[in-house]
Chains A and B, each alone.
Chain A
Amino acid sequence: MRLALALLCLVQQGTRETKAGLRPEAGIPRARFEELHALIRPAPGGFEEIPWMTSLWEARRKAATEGKPLLVWSGECHPLGAT
């Protein structure tokens, strides 16, 4: 009886799957790394692909040197650190 219970526990532990589809004892399979990385990160073509400067002074200096306007993305928390 004890042996049967022990075996049952072992089987249950080995097959528990989380909502995320992981088996805790196995970790994230390496084969899924690229897929998950792309799924979580922003979709291509979004604002992160722009090389935003974060120093207003340096941006002003660059604009003055190059004869261009500044385009300032502003927020009441930092736009690059918020959704």
Chain B
Amino acid sequence: MAIDVIVEWGRKDEEGEWFRSLNQEASGGDIGKFSMASGRVHGVSPGGKFLCGKHCWRDCTVAGALEEWNRLPASDRKPGAVKVGDMKKADRKVPTPPPGSLVLKVHQRRLERDAQGGLRRWKSHDYGEEPGHEYLWIEEAAWRSLVPASPQKGQSCVIPAKLAEMIFRPALRDTSWGGKTTPSAYWEPGHVRSLEMRLKVEEVTATHVRLLVQGAAAFSEEPGGRQASKAGAWLEAQVLGCIRYDLKKKVFDTFDVVALGDHLGYYLANPNRPTGGEALTVLENRVTVLGVTLQVAREGQVVPPTGFVFGE
């Protein structure tokens, strides 16, 4: 399973208490064991024993954790040995999507041209080939407005501006440099220069309605976008996708959308590297290609969208 240690350490409920007790068991009470475990996988027994043993946080491995698990008394490891009931009351400050929300998973990737003029994954930076990851929570009343009341093949309409902005303004960014806190243009409402998305009913069956999503977006920090006289991040993207509504379950079971366009964004520069100084966020001096996909997220995964600050 996957957790944000800041949320787990601070939450005021039984889950938070158990998480803090894990750290106490391991290292004497501070957040140390997990706070320095960023990006690592650690073994924990359901009874609350940290399964790193001789493996300190730096070297904790899945194989090592399983070795430690197998060294526990058989009575501690058998199914049902530890009873875990319902959590009485979850901390309300821990975010969960409102009931009925459509949860979308977003991927954001820089692309570049290859020698033949085709697009390929960008290989020119230090973060490997993993795209940026984001989640969007679209409240029920909002996403339901995408479903035509009496769908007929060929029907077409414009997605209301507010809904289009709800979906595309947070999605059409580049967090592939390392997550929500590292350089990326973050579009404010005033940065939306144009945003038009259209829906067209392509197919209606007894069980589903399939809709085509098509449109374009232009966002920029400075008026004028790529023609602005003052430098700032901008994006010009086209959007194409297929969304499918299940008439029996009354949900979108498919929300496959691609956005592609030219982007001037930010990156981390570190002219102070030799002296160990801090990296700087700078506006790039070249336009890149940004690709973004949206799809229905895996059911049950609760990951807050960008901008969430625990405790507020």
Contact = CB atoms under 8 A, between A and B. Distances in A.
B185 to A, nearest CB: 16
Given A28-B240, A41-B107, A66-B79, A73 B298 contact: no
Given A55-B302, A81-B134, A74 B37 contact: yes
Nearest to A52: B2
B4 A28 contact: no
B232 interface: no
A82 B182 CA distance: 10
Contacts of A57: 14-15, 18, 84, 87
Interface string B35-62: 1011111111111000100000000001
Nearest to B11: A56
Contact of B84 (A27, A64, A71, A82): A64
Interface residues of A, number: 49
A20 B289 contact: yes
Interface string A14-29: 0000111110100110
Interface string A50-83: 0111111101110111111111111111111111
B94 to A, nearest CB: 10
Interface in B97-126: 107-109, 111, 113, 117, 119-121
Contact of B40 (A22, A41, A74, A80): A74
B42 A71 contact: yes
B260 interface: yes
Interface residues of B, number: 90
A39 B178 contact: no
Interface in B65-84: 65-66, 69, 77-84
Interface in B147-188: 175-181
A24 B51 contact: no
A54 B300 contact: yes
A20 B119 contact: yes
A37 B256 contact: yes
The main secondary structure of chain B at its interface with chain A is: mixed
A73 B240 CA distance: 34
A5 interface: no
B258 A46 contact: no
Contacts of B300: 53-54
Contacts of A28: 238-240, 258, 260
A80 to B, nearest CB: 5
A30 interface: yes
A81 B46 contact: no
A69 B53 CA distance: 14
A70 B1 contact: yes
A21 B1 CA distance: 40
Contacts of A61: 46, 84
A83 B130 CA distance: 6
Contact of A59 (B1, B14, B87, B236): B1
Contacts of A72: 1-3, 41-44
Interface of B: 1-8, 14-15, 18-19, 34-35, 37-47, 51, 62, 65-66, 69, 77-84, 87, 107-109, 111, 113, 117, 119-121, 127, 129-135, 175-181, 214, 216, 236, 238-242, 256, 258, 260-262, 287-289, 291-293, 298, 300-306
Given A24-B216, A56-B3, A81-B179, 6 more contacts: A19-B288, A20-B260, A24-B238, A39-B109, A67-B77, A81-B133
Q: Which 3 A-B pairs have the closest CB atoms?
A: A82-B179, A67-B79, A64-B46
Interface of A: 18-22, 24, 27-28, 30, 33, 36-37, 39-43, 46, 51-57, 59-61, 63-83
